[in-house]
Chains A and B, each alone.
Chain A
């Protein structure tokens, strides 16, 4: 796989979460870092997100979340598995209670970025992990 290919990322809210600030800010600095970002916005179901991921052949799905019960992120991971999309890296960010983090990771979420994470930490994580994934692929 071409390592120089531009990194494509979906940034989305899931379900009824309407807190858009985090997702908008993250989208903006991922673009500044040279990535192609598809910002899906609010009211996305796991089906809609997976559909967009297939259509656009993305490397990463970033779910911005402001408090939930997180079952929908679980649904998203199940659906990705069902579609054999194990190469897509899923990351979450936002006000996510710490008890949730191991549960999300157990579901296959690669990383969780809590509030006040720096743009550098998120960009670096995506760049190095997409690189790994592409080399493995």
Chain B
């Protein structure tokens, strides 16, 4: 077993004052609520606001996902809700597309139209909790449109809404893709972000390292890539879209993946707060304190959940959730014991939510802000990961930033090398995983947990519903609004498509139609998979 950090730095047997030589409390940490915010943003920590305790929902139809959302609220979800999109909406293509109909409702919510969103949110409050819709980059603008229209239609004050609905354009490097080209994703991200910022809509965008981490990057790499993304995307909004950084700073949120390396995970979160604060203040010249505070949510790592002896995963999730809590965060959605098997069963979801509640309500851990500050080990780890992450970030900047690094395949290579290394470590036993390469038991001794299953009929049902429903829509209104979108999408890249996307969505144009028309206007095929023709004739 190697005694080194996740990113390969040797760990000593004991840490002493000389491991944090030159440590300056005010400069390096500051009190909670004080720049550089290493210790967090709130002087009273979780006493002033507990983290949002949530569980990600999304599987089967919108009606089914709505039922699960309500169930999670009963199970103690508090502060916010979180939904993930299915494979069809992720692209986005429609559920009745030849490829869509085989996978509608798989691994997420099939949010292909405003109708689906209306069904999803039926009986669930839009205000008084954060509404987080995880997405790919390409379906982000549609989700933002759903929220805007829903508020108009049902008389909800848009100013009262907060949450997240859009996403960064680099996820395709990390196996979390839509099928749109990078330049289109870049534009869609900027359009949706600019629209939300200019209209004061408190719907954030996921600029997150969770995907990089889960696809195999180590903690330092994930932190370096995260900073490079934040720097570049915020920079584009300031320089290309002419926005004020103090407005832009409220857009991104980071979903940090917390793994099993307890102290390192805590150090990583502390380093991230400090790095963002410095970027905001020193480079972007932030005028407001708030702009130096990056919103950080936690996802405990699905990748650390093992197929073997799944009950062990409850223990892992507990340790990871605890690290997330001590690290200081705004929200947690934790992995479930059955993550390596399927989507969460009710029992598994309950266990993970209970884990959060046991930590918040029984342990006393949430009573003290940043309780590990001043530990020689923790401060040394915080400095070290920051140092390593800066090296990676610098390298990306030397290549010309994230878009350039992605185009050169640099990020993809980094991911591939990291995932191979991880496999080697597990197989060689350098990385011990109980139940996998140590204390292995024969399959017949496994404890059976309930496993949720998806059926092919469910996808077909969602597809058929969409097919039938499409025929009932006001086609004149749809064609008019899509034609406007088509014309707008032919204009220069900086012309914001959100207003025309919103009109089309309002007329119940589907996600596949909206994206198809944008694609067509940009000289791409209407259907990314070239299986269906454009149903509209725009001359």
Chain A residues proximal to chain B, CB less than 8 Å: 15-21, 24-25, 28-29, 42-43, 45, 66-72, 74-75, 95, 97-100, 114-116, 118-120
Contact B341 A97 (CB under 8 A): yes
Residue of A nearest to B303 (CB): A21
- Measured in the bound complex, the distance between the Cα atoms of B179 and A18 in whole Å is 9
Q: Nearest CB to that of A120 among chain B residues? A: B427
Q: Is the CB of A119 within 8 A of B423?
A: yes
Kindly report which residue of chain A lies nearest to residue B216, judged by CB atoms: A21
Given contacts A43-B529, A68-B103, contact A18 B177 (CB under 8 A): yes
Residue on A with the closest CB to B422?
A25
Question: Do B107 and A25 have beta carbons less than 8 Å apart?
Answer: no
B215→A21 contact, CB < 8 A: yes
- Complex partner residue of B341 from A15, A28, A43, A98, CB under 8 angstroms: A98
> Cβ of A115 and Cβ of B456 under 8 Å apart?
no
Q: Identify the closest chain A residue to B436 (Cβ).
A: A116
Q: Give A80 to B340 CA distance when docked, in angstroms.
A: 29
A15 CB, min distance to chain B CBs, angstroms? 5
With a CB–CB cut-off of 8 A, which chain A residues contact B90?
16, 18
Q: List 5 A-B contacts (CB under 8 A).
A: A20-B175, A69-B102, A71-B456, A74-B456, A97-B341
Please report the C-alpha to C-alpha distance between residue A21 and residue B436 in the assembled complex, in whole angstroms.
18
Let me know if B454 and A24 touch, CB within 8 A: no
Q: Is the CB of B453 within 8 A of A99?
A: yes
Q: Which of A15, A18, A25, A72 is close to B419, meaning CB atoms less than 8 Å apart?
A: A25
Name B residues whose Cβ lies closer than 8 Å to a Cβ of A: 87-88, 90-91, 99-100, 102-103, 106-107, 175-177, 179, 215-216, 306-308, 339-343, 416, 419-420, 423, 426-427, 433, 436, 451-456, 458-459, 529
A28 and B420 in contact (CB under 8 A), knowing A43-B529, A99-B451? Answer: yes
Smallest distance from the beta carbon of B378 to chain A beta carbons, Å?
30
Given the known interface contacts A71-B459, A72-B102, A98-B341, the answer about A29 and B453 at a Cβ–Cβ threshold of 8 Å is no
B426's partner among A69, A71, A98, A116 (CB-CB below 8 A) is: A116
Are B87 and A115 neighbours in the complex by a CB distance under 8 Å? no
9 smallest A-B Cβ distances: which pairs?
A71-B456, A16-B87, A115-B307, A69-B456, A97-B342, A20-B175, A18-B177, A115-B340, A69-B454
Instruction: Please state if A70 and B433 are interface contacts (CB–CB under 8 Å).
Output: no
Given contacts A25-B423, A119-B427, 15 further A-B contacts (CB under 8 A): A15-B87, A18-B90, A25-B420, A29-B423, A42-B177, A67-B106, A67-B342, A68-B106, A68-B107, A69-B458, A72-B102, A98-B451, A99-B453, A115-B307, A116-B306
Distance of B306 from chain A, by nearest CB (Å): 6
Contacts of A17 in B (CB 8 A): 87, 103
Complex alpha-carbon distance, A29 and B423, angstroms: 10
**Bound-state Cα–Cα, A34 to B456, Å:** 37
The answer, among A15, A18, A71, for a CB contact under 8 Å with B176, is A18
What chain B residues lie within 8 Å of A114 (beta carbons)?
A: 307, 340
| Chain A interface, DSSP helix/strand/loop, else mixed | loop
Collect the chain A residues with CB atoms within 8 Å of residue B436's CB.
116
Q: Are A69 and B106 in contact (CB under 8 A)?
A: yes
Nearest B residue to A98 via CB reads B451
Distance, CA A67 to CA B86, complexed state (A): 11
Prevailing SS type, chain B contact patch: loop
Q: How far is the CA of A115 from the CA of B310 in the complex (A)?
A: 12
**Which of A67, A75, A98, A118 has the largest count of B CB atoms less than 10 A from its CB?**
A67
Q: When A69-B458, A116-B433 are in contact, do A15 and B427 touch as well, CB less than 8 Å?
A: no
Instruction: With both chains docked as a complex, state the minimum distance between the C-beta of B536 and any C-beta of chain A, in angstroms.
Output: 24
Chain B residues near A99 (CB-CB < 8 A):
451, 453
Beta-carbon contact of B91 and A24 below 8 Å: no
In the bound complex, what is the Cα–Cα distance between A42 and B176 (angstroms)? 11
Say how far A44's CB is from chain B's closest CB, in angstroms. 10
In angstroms, Cα B342 to Cα A70, docked, is 13
Complex: A63 Cα to B87 Cα, angstroms: 17
In the complex, how many angstroms separate the beta carbon of A76 from the nearest chain B beta carbon? 11
In the complex formed, the residue of A with least CB distance to B440 is: A116
User: How close is B432's CB to chain A, nearest CB, in angstroms?
Assistant: 13
For A16, give the chain B residue with the smallest CB separation: B87
* Residue of A with least CB distance to B423: A25
Known: A97-B341, A99-B453. A45 touches B99 (CB 8 A): yes
Contacts of B307 in A (CB 8 A): 95, 114-116
Residues of A within 8 A of B427 (CB): 118-120
Q: Which of B102, B339, B436 has the most CB of A within 10 A?
A: B102
Complex Cα–Cα for A119 and B100 (A):
32
- Rounded to whole angstroms, the CA-CA distance of A71 and B452 in the bound complex is 16
- Checking B102, B426, B454 against A15 with a beta-carbon cut-off of 8 angstroms, the contacting residue is B102
How far apart sit A66 and B340, CA to CA, in the bound complex (Å)?
Answer: 9
A residues in contact with B177, CB < 8 Å:
18, 42
| CB closest chain-B residue, reference A74 | B456
Minimum CB distance partner of A97 in chain B: B342
Q: How far is the CB of A137 from chain B (nearest CB, A)?
A: 32
Q: Once the chains bind, are B451 and A21 in contact (CB under 8 Å)?
A: no
Contacts of B339 in A (CB 8 A): 95
Residues of B within 8 Å of A74, CB to CB, are 456
Are B179 and A68 in touch, CB under 8 angstroms?
no
Chain A residues with Cβ below 8 Å from B455 are 69
B459 to chain A: which residues have CB within 8 Å?
Answer: 69, 71
B421 → A minimal CB distance (Å) = 10
| Inter-chain contacts of A29 with B (CB < 8 A) | 423
List of A residues within 8 angstroms of B433 by Cβ:
116
Q: Which residues of B contact A66 (CB under 8 A)?
A: 107
The minimal Cβ–Cβ distance linking B414 to chain A, given in whole angstroms, is: 13
Distance to closest chain B CB from A48 (angstroms)? 10
Check A116 against B91 for contact (C-beta < 8 Å): no
- With a cutoff of 8 Å between Cβ atoms, the chain A residues found around residue B107 in the complex are 66-68
Which residues from B are CB-within-8-Å of A28?
A: 416, 420
User: Are A43 and B102 in contact (CB-based, < 8 A)?
Assistant: no
Cα A17 to Cα B452 with chains together (Å): 18
Known: A16-B99, A43-B529. A70 touches B456 (CB 8 A): yes
Q: Which residues of A contact B419 (CB under 8 A)?
A: 21, 24-25
